[in-house]
């Protein structure tokens, strides 16, 4: 390697180190400035795939620290899913309640759907009042609220009154504006491309 090329590479490396040093200083200052610790209300919404999947990833993290997790599925109760099979292996740290019979367009019985959602909410309310539960996953609650199967003002009151350090993640499309306003973190999954549109069916390990 000639001397000119070697000097150029050394200069580029030195420039990169200095750039990263300054970037680290900025990041360290920003991290150090965040001192508040609290239970978070998180909402995963939008038309894209991955809302529930991300919530169950948080459940796995919580279990990794030995904390209890409560999962309530408001719509998908009829499904035999991989996430349920996996997380229930952490019993007794995991409690799972899924009384539903499938999506509301499958049951086609509004009164029955409302009764099922009310049953699910009773379980959720108990979990939301229990300080020993570190994370409550309210899967597809946004769908139940969209069809007005449950009272949004009541749910917001219960969420606000939950134990101080408890985290909650709510999933489903079309999150109500009042819910996103109350949330600490809102993530909207954006659909760019989906295999379903190409005729590929739902598959184990991917959709359920």
List pLDDT tens digits, range 152-208: 999 999 999 999 999 999 999 999 999 999 999 999 999 999 998 889 898 888 888
Shared domain check, 191 and 122 = yes
Question: Does residue 124 share a domain with residue 25?
Answer: no
Same-domain check for residues 111 and 12: no
Verify that 59 and 16 share a domain, yes or no: no
Do 18 and 82 lie in a common domain? no
Do the domain assignments include residue 47? yes
Same domain, 88 and 62: yes
- pLDDT for residue 105: 52
The more confident residue out of 37 and 12 is 37
Is the residue at 173 inside a domain? yes
Q: Is residue 83 part of a domain?
A: yes
Residues 10 and 76 in one domain: no
- Whether 203 is in a domain gets the answer no
What is the rounded average pLDDT of the residues 139-154?
95
Q: Is residue 153 part of a domain?
A: yes
Q: How many domains does the chain have?
A: 2
**Domain identity same for 72 and 24:** no
Residue 104 has pLDDT above 70, yes or no: no
pLDDT value of residue 19: 87
Q: What is the CATH number of the domain that holds 192?
A: 3.40.50.300
pLDDT digits (tens, 9 = 90+) for 41-98: 999 999 999 999 999 999 999 999 999 999 999 987 667 788 889 998 999 999 999 8
Domain range for 24 is 1-35
Query: Band of the pLDDT at 5, cuts 50, 70, 90?
Result: low
**Would 13 be classed as within a structural domain?**
yes
Contacts of 208 (CB under 8 A, 6+ apart): 79, 80, 81, 82, 202
- pLDDT for residue 72: 95
Asked if 112 and 181 sit in the same domain, the reply is yes
DSSP string, 171-208: E-SS--HHHHHH-SEEEEPPPS--GGGGTPPP-TTTT-
Rounded alpha-carbon distances, angstroms, from residue 91 to 65, 84, 85, 99: 14, 11, 11, 19
Residues in the chain: 208
Mark whether 5 and 90 lie in a shared domain: no
Residue 102 reports pLDDT greater than 60: no
Burial class (CB in 10 A: 0-12, 13-18, 19+), 150: middle
* 205 falls within a domain: no
The whole-number pLDDT of residue 1 equals 54
63 with 88, same domain: the answer is yes
Asked if 125 and 158 sit in the same domain, the reply is yes
């Amino acid at each position: 390697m000639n001397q000119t090329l070697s000097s150029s590479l050394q200069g580029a490396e030195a420039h990169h180190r200095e750039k990263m040093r300054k970037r680290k200083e900025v990041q360290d200052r920003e991290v150090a400035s965040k001192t508040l610790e609290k239970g978070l209300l998180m909402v995963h919404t939008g038309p894209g795939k991955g809302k529930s999947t991300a919530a169950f990833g948080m459940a796995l993290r919580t279990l990794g620290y030995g904390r209890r997790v409560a999962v309530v599925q408001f719509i998908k109760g009829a499904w035999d899913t991989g996430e349920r099979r996996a997380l229930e292996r952490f019993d007794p740290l995991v409690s799972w309640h899924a009384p539903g019979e499938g999506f509301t367009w499958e049951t086609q019985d509004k009164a029955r759907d409302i009764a099922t959602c009310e049953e699910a909410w009773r379980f959720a309310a108990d979990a939301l009042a229990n300080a020993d539960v570190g994370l409550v996953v309210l899967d597809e609650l946004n769908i139940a609220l969209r069809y007005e199967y449950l009272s949004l003002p009541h749910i917001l009151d219960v969420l606000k009154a939950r134990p101080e350090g408890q985290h909650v993640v709510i999933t489903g499309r079309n999150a109500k504006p009042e819910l996103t306003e109350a949330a600490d973190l809102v993530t909207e999954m954006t659909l760019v491309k989906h295999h379903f549109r190409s005729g590929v069916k739902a598959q184990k390990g991917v959709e359920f």
